Amino acid sequence: MNWTHENKAQLAIDVGLLSQKITSRTQFAYRYALFFLLLVGFHRLVLAGLSIVSESGPLHDLLYECARVSYFLVGPLFELFGRL
């Protein structure tokens, strides 16, 4: 293949576009990983709060509901990756 100036320019454009796609997909994966780590951290924090507060009262009820919701979101992760 004869490498002309136009071929080199097109190759540079193609490589640039490919690197942008890889970067955007990597950022997308990092965002989801960070979201799930924050969700797991929130779930653990809620469970720690449940073990500290007394079993009667509005704070316990609120933490219990937060634990139920967070486990609904984090539960599949626990089943997929084991105990986090």
Classify residue 55 by its DSSP letter.
S
pTM: 0.55
Tokens of 81: 């990756």
What sign for the dihedral angle of Cα 34, 77, 68, 72? positive
Q: What is the pLDDT of residue 69?
A: 84
pLDDT averaged per 10 residues in sequence order, the chain, 84 residues = 63 69 77 82 83 81 84 77 60
CB 64 within 8 A of CB 50: yes
Q: What is the pLDDT of residue 46?
A: 83
Strand, coil or helix: what is 7? helix
Q: What is the pLDDT of residue 34?
A: 83
Q: What is the pLDDT of residue 6?
A: 66
